[in-house]
Amino acid sequence: MCLRRAVPDPRRVVVVDSSSTDGSDAVASAEGFELHRIDVRTFNHGKTRDAAVRAFCANDPYVIFATQDAVIESSESLVKLLAAFADPAVGAAYGRQLPHTGAQAFESHAALFNYPPRSETRTLADAARLGIKAAFFSNSFAAYRVAALQHCGGFPGHLILGEDACVAMRMLMLGWSVRYVAEARVRHSHAYTVWQESQRYFDFGVMHAQIPELLQTFGAPEGEGARFVMSEMQYVAKHSPLRLPEVLVRNAAKYAGYRLGRGFRHLPRSLCRSLSMTKYYWQNRRPDEGCAALR
């Protein structure tokens, strides 16, 4: 379902378009949405979103983020997502991402594993039970209480990605709750190749190196990774058994990419750019930029 059908009369929709070539900017204009164009070379996951909040909704109670490839499944999805803020302790909420229709085994499993059918509210106390999963969050379809976002200093601008998990971590550490709303659903999944999986996890490794307090507070990701691999093996064995050997290849590539990313400071920038999915980041990153602290 397109955004216009989901929200026929929204208070305000701003589309931040980073030099797209797929025609989405024209569609946004045709739907009557407010279009704000930026140069793709200036795009940054956190900095761009932070600038949008400051420019367009700093005085509003809530802000919703959605990426252009997240297809809203129901007209109730946005309503249910915002209903999470009936609890005054909730600082941020994110919805359930289901695989796109026709998605293959690996992308389907990733979506189903990370976005289960049951909603939950998480606090810092859940770190002991969930580990790093307690700070899991996704800006592909999420909403924030603007006051809570400002309390956390907004989105960090130095990270390669993971600005959403970074803010979720800060909210939990500052006493806010984070809500997962399984009833607020979108279709969003990616058919990555093995090489793309390695690049994606290189970027995760870079992000974890940039915010060591995430792992210090919530624990290392290896335990959750092992649980993911076991679940993926079972899912692929059931739905696409001929691709079962690919499970080992994919996860070996992801782990190698992740470990290289954790050590990115010891690699030349040209190699980082080659190993990374987020290539524009290495063009904009200062050579001496280290792990900047959250504001």
Residue 13: both structure tokens together:
């929709």
pLDDT, position 58: 85
pLDDT digits (tens, 9 = 90+) for 126-147: 999 999 999 999 999 999 999 9
pLDDT digits (tens, 9 = 90+) for 80-134: 999 999 999 999 999 999 999 999 999 999 999 999 999 999 999 999 999 999 9
pLDDT, position 39: 80
What is the pLDDT confidence band of residue 162, given thresholds at 50, 70 and 90?
Answer: very high
User: What domains are defined for the chain?
Assistant: 1-43 (no CATH), 57-191 (3.90.550.10), 195-284 (no CATH)
pLDDT, position 272: 97
Q: Which residues pair with 141 in a beta bridge?
A: 66
CA pair distance 252, 194, nearest whole angstrom: 9
Q: What share of the chain is helix, strand, coil (3-state, %, to 5)?
A: 55, 15, 35
- Which is higher by pLDDT, 186 or 76? 186
pLDDT, position 292: 35
Range in 57-61, 124-128, 139-143, 159-163 the model is least confident about: 57-61
pLDDT, position 286: 52
- Cα dist. 130→127, 144, 147 in Å? 5, 22, 26
Mean pLDDT value across residues 7-31: 75
Question: In 3D, which of 178, 188, 190, 162 has the Cα closest to residue 81?
Answer: 178
pLDDT, position 287: 38
